[in-house]
Structure formats: C-alpha cells, structure tokens
Amino acid sequence: MPAIRFLESVPLATRAGIHAVLDAVAEAPPPAFSGGGKWEVMRDEMAGYYEVRVKGADKKNHRLFCVLERDADDLGGSSIVVIDGLSKPLRTAAKAKDYARALKYRTEFQKRRTVLGRG
C-alpha cells in the first residue's frame, strides 16, 4: 500500500490538494479533464501513468502516480488506481529509482490487482 503510505507522509494541506485533483478527475475523466498542470500524462518509461502534481507549503513538489482502469469489473467499473508517490525538492528531477519502484508496483497491481509494496 505504497500510495497510502505516501499520502499519510505528506502535510494535511498537500493531501487535501491531491484528493481534490483526484475528485476532479473522477468527476470529469480524461480527456474531459484538462488538469491545469495538476494532472499530467507521463511519457517514456512511465507511459501509461498519470501524475497528480501538487506543490506543498513545505516547498516540495509532491507527485502521486496513478493508472486508469477502464471498465474494470473487479474494481466496480472505471477507476483511478493510485500506485505510488514521491516528494522532491522544487525544481529537481525525480530519481530513476523512484520511477523504477512505481513501475514495479504497477506490474504487481496488474498481476495481483493490489499493491502491497513489499520487498
């Protein structure tokens, strides 16, 4: 449950901002929701992911990595699946290990339909 651990680790106002973006996307799913820089499609090795982007009062950028599952019967229909997240200093790139971890968790989700994030 890496995404839950991530959300619990960020300041409350940041968590609320992330939830607001997720709620807005759920109400008007892509492509109807343009994101305004807070919901972005990822590219290259992270293709298939979407990223919630929130700048915190703690002077960090917070990112929540999500995948969209269309018509997923086991999830009760189309869903935003939150996979993992990271916090980083402003104007810095994410580390390759953070992306690798998120990719591993997506693979786990695809196989098990859950992400435990162990080992």
For tokens 């269309």, what's the residue?
Answer: 70
Counting Cβ atoms within 10 Å, is residue 57 exposed (0-12), middle (13-18) or buried (19+)? exposed
**What pLDDT was estimated at residue 118?**
56
Contact 86, 94 (CB under 8 A): yes
Tokens 């699946």 correspond to what residue? 81
pLDDT value at residue 31:
65
Closest among 67, 61, 60 to 84, alpha carbons compared: 67
**How high is the pLDDT of residue 117?**
67
**pLDDT averaged over 10-residue windows placed end to end, the chain, 119 residues:** 93 96 85 80 94 95 93 83 95 94 92 74
- 67 residue type, one letter: V
Token pair for 22: 């997720």
pLDDT of res. 63: 97
Q: Closest Cα to residue 107, out of 46, 29, 43, 39? A: 46
